[in-house]
A and B are shown apart, each in its own frame.
Chain A
Amino acid sequence: MNNKGKWLRRIIIGVVILAFMCGGVAFGMNYRTWIQGDEGSDQIDGGGSAVKKKVDSAAGDYVEPEKTNTENQDVGVAIPGWGYISIPAGETDIAVDFPNPDANAEKYYLSFELRLKDSGEILYTSELVPPGKTIQKITLSRALEEGSYQAVVHVQPYKMDENQTPTNNADMETELVVYNT
C-alpha cells in the first residue's frame, strides 16, 4: 500500500469517527423526543426549555353534577295538620294524635312540641317519632281549666342519618278545646 492509500484510509476513519461523535451529541440532545415522545411529558429538559404540553382530552364545558338518588327523591318533609285538639279539663294524661306521615319513610323523624300561643308555655315535648308511627297518649306539664286556648304544635323534623340533623320546621297553629267531663 502506498502513502496515498494510507492517507485516504486515515481520512475515512476520521470522518467516520467524527460522524459517530456528531451522532452521539445529536442523540443526547433529542433522545427524549425520539424515544419517549412528548405525550404526557411535563418535564423540563437540561436546557431549561419546557416540553410542549397537550390539552387534556377530558377537559370540557362545566356540567352541573347529577343529584344522587336521595337528593332527587327528597320532595320535602310532610307535616300533619289538625283542626283542633280536644282534651278534658283538670287532667294531664290526655289522648292526641301526633303522626309522622308515611311520606317521610326512611327520611325524617318528627318531634312535636305543644305550647300555648299567647304565653309560649310549653305543655308537652315528644321524643322522635319514626315515619308511619304516631303518638296517641301524652302527659301535659299541667292540667288546664275549661275553655278554648290558641295553641301551636311545633313540629321539628330530623334527618334519619347518623347526625340526626334538624331541618326546616313548622308551627301548626291550632285550637286547644278544654272541656269539663
Chain B
Amino acid sequence: MKTNKKMISLLLIMVMTIAFSLPVSAAQVTNNGESQGTTLSYSVSQVFIVTIPSTVTIDASGEGTETVSVSNAVIPYGKSVKVTITEAANYSDSKFRLKDGENANYLNYTIKIGGNSISKGNPFLSVPAGTATGSAELAIKADTPTKSGMYTDSLTFTVTIE
C-alpha cells in the first residue's frame, strides 16, 4: 500500500514537471487581468460525389427509370450543387433521340421528373449546402418504334456549384 502511494506520488510529480516545462504556443498571459486572443483555423475542402446512370435502359414497354444523386456534399454556405443535362449525342429540334446503330434511324424519347419534362441546359437537381445528399428520379419514355434495332443515346451531365 505504501509502495503504491509512493509510486502514484512519483508519477504525479513527473507529470507536473513535464507539463510545466512544455512551451506554450499561444500568447502568454503574464499579468493578472490581462487577456490574449488566439485564432483557430480549420480549412474544409469542397468535395462531393455525383452518381449518374451509366446507360439509359428502356424496357420492352418503352419506359425506363434512372436515378441521379449527389452524396457526401460539403460545399460553401449559400451554394448548391446543380446537375444539368448539357449534351445528348443525338439531340435535335429540342428533342432527345435514340439512334439505331449506324443507321439514320431515330426514335424520340422524353425525360421527366414527377411528370414534368426536363430539357437540355436546365438544372433538374439542386442540392443546397448543408444538405449532404439529394437525388432525382428520371422517368424515360420512348415513342413507339416502327423499326427494329438497337437504339442508344449518350448523355453528358454537367455539375456546377452556384
- The CA of A75 and the CA of B71, in the complex, are separated in Å by 13
Max count, chain B CB within 10 A of own CB: residue among A74, A76, A84, A167? A76
Q: Is B98 an interface residue (CB 8 A)?
A: no
Partner of B51, one of A79, A83, A173: A79
Binding site for A on B (CB under 8 A): 45-57, 59-60, 66-69, 75-76, 81, 86, 154-161
Please name the 6 residue pairs, one residue from A and one from B, whose CB atoms are nearest each other, closest first.
A83-B46, A167-B54, A81-B48, A76-B51, A171-B158, A173-B160
Of chain A, the residue at the smallest CB distance from B86 is: A171
Q: Is A77 an interface residue (CB 8 A)?
A: yes
Contact between chains at B52 and A76 (CB < 8 Å): yes
Partner of A82, one of B46, B156, B158: B46
Chain A residues within an 8 Å CB radius of B60: 64
Of chain A, the residue at the smallest CB distance from B53 is: A76
Contact between chains at B51 and A171 (CB < 8 Å): no
Contact between chains at A171 and B46 (CB < 8 Å): no
Question: Smallest CB–CB gap between A57 and chain B, Å?
Answer: 24
Contact between chains at B54 and A159 (CB < 8 Å): yes
- The CA of A81 and the CA of B161, in the complex, are separated in Å by 10
Contact between chains at B47 and A169 (CB < 8 Å): no
Chain A residues within an 8 Å CB radius of B57: 71
Extra inter-chain contacts (5) besides given A169-B155, A170-B50, CB under 8 Å: A77-B54, A78-B49, A80-B47, A170-B157, A170-B158
